[in-house]
Structure 1
Amino acid sequence: MSSTSIEALFALFKGEFGVSHRELATLILSSHPLADGMSPAQRAENTTWLTRYVVHAPMDSLQDRLFADFNLSARRVHHLLGQRCRADRDIFQVINGSSIMTNALGSADQKALVYRNALLRLNASFDDATEKARAALILTIASGCTDNVTLAIGLAQAYLRSNGLPFHEATPCPDALAQPSSDSPSIDTPPDSIGLIRLIDNRVASGPYRISTSGAGTTIGALALGKDAIADVNVDVSAEHLRVWRSQGHWLAQDLNSTNGSALIRSNGSCVFLTPGASVEIVPGDCIKLANNTLFSVIAMAAESSTAKEDA
């Protein structure tokens, strides 16, 4: 049976840091009283209540009012771990090296990939071990309590920004009706559906990611979230790096002002470097290179059936 993100949170701190369920609950649950006059933190003294209504509760039953402010929770947990002589570098390494939370987040909307990418980006962003540990605690506690990785990343980002530290800057969305550039390839009939296959060392490393036919298309990036997003990338890929979408029967790609750039490698071996803001038509047989070595092959796919769309 797979764990929920809240179960993973309690398991992580108990297994890796020796923090009991009750100890963690007193640090992350709200001290504001509920209707009966008792706060969630006070109720946590009752092991049966804590187990049933928090640790093993369905995620959709966990209300926001149960939890303290996540920044406050992270400070409390950080203080407790410091009292137990856990170094900041160790705290981050344990969180970054554990698979408990990523396994619980699962593959839905690629939350696990985005959570993992956020930790990798955090590790590469700056050297301050204390701030790195605190940001990782915010990210992990908020993800565990809400199952909302977007919210968790936003809180970690806001914390770092308030302390003058880098993490992730948002990138703009392209115009869904942008026209292909003049160097677009000639193709008689573009396919109705395309997908991307991740290549690592010239070997297929993923199943095909179907590109959305909606106006917004598909966003690719280390922190890209959503039903149609692709986050299966290396750490040097920007948070929202590239968008692929369909316009007037053509498939277009546009770099979203990425840090390390994008390139399109045609089937004839020629290479087109994408200028941010300019759309380039892509066709099956092309390869899209993001940053230094994240490579996707463009393939034609059978049109998605109406039944499959309904199931999705």
Structure 2
Amino acid sequence: MLKVKTPKNPRVKRALEKRAPKLVETGKKTLILQGTKTSNTLNDVLTELYLLKKGSAIRYTRKNENIRPFESGGETSLEFFSLKTDCSIFIYGSTSKKRPDNLVIGRTYDHHIYDLVEVGVENFKPLNSFIYDKKLAPRVGSKPFICFVGEGFESVEELKHLKEVLVDLLRGEVIENLNLAGLDHAYVCTAVSSNRVFFTHCALRLKKSGTIVPRMELVEVGPSMDFVVRRHRLPNESLRKEAMKTAKDRSKKKVKNVGQDAIQGKIGKIYIPDQKLGDMALPNKAKGVKRERREAKMKNDPTERASKKQKEESV
């Protein structure tokens, strides 16, 4: 039998709970690594993607020979790195004669490969090739707009899958409330054809419009490139259902004396204790009641009034 190791102190227990799968996910970290052969262009692409994800990304610069995401047995090292770094998204770059400047973007569930999208990089323009006011440069930790332009993202299966992966890669941590001052850049993805997507990164510039709402302009700050979709692999249906569980699917704790009705909706039962009217104090006592009680007391005990008179005379 396998020995089950339990955490020896609270710090290790908290670390294991933090890495465990959650119904409500926190921010996803991205692992960026490369294969045996890479070109200068691909190295620049990986570096600038790391700069865009700075704060929530880990970059490995050593060559990895055993990683082949689309081959059976070539995913073991990738899953090990995912477990080691606690990253649920990865970008793997490699180049070959058959697939030059190749990027594989994938997601993991419970540190096992969930799905994969392979794209080729063309027409790459780095950050230093764009001239703009440096005050417009996006700040680290700010939230982006993500814009998908083109009907291909709704009709072509490969582009629909690429859209899902890019949203997970670029959006960062999911939040409920947002200050508009934290929105300072946008990612624009344009479907040029059924297998080509133009990707660019823009900063937001606010200008006067004569109204309360300012006019917004996009200033391209880079990088920009073309993604040519090559291969993709969707998850199987059982794994998709397991990964898509949300907090609503969690079994709710039964609440006492509360039920549901198809017409009236939520119904509750209220239990009121027995009222003891004899022990209740009347708030307003009538003066007539006091006088009747005093007269009745005098009739029952006439000596009491005489004793009071004697005390007055003695005084």
Bin of the TM-score, shorter chain as denominator length: under 0.3
User: Of Structure 1 and Structure 2, which has the larger fraction of its residues in strand?
Assistant: 2
**Greater fraction helix:** 1
TM-score, structure 2 as length reference = 0.23
Q: Which has the larger radius of gyration?
A: 2
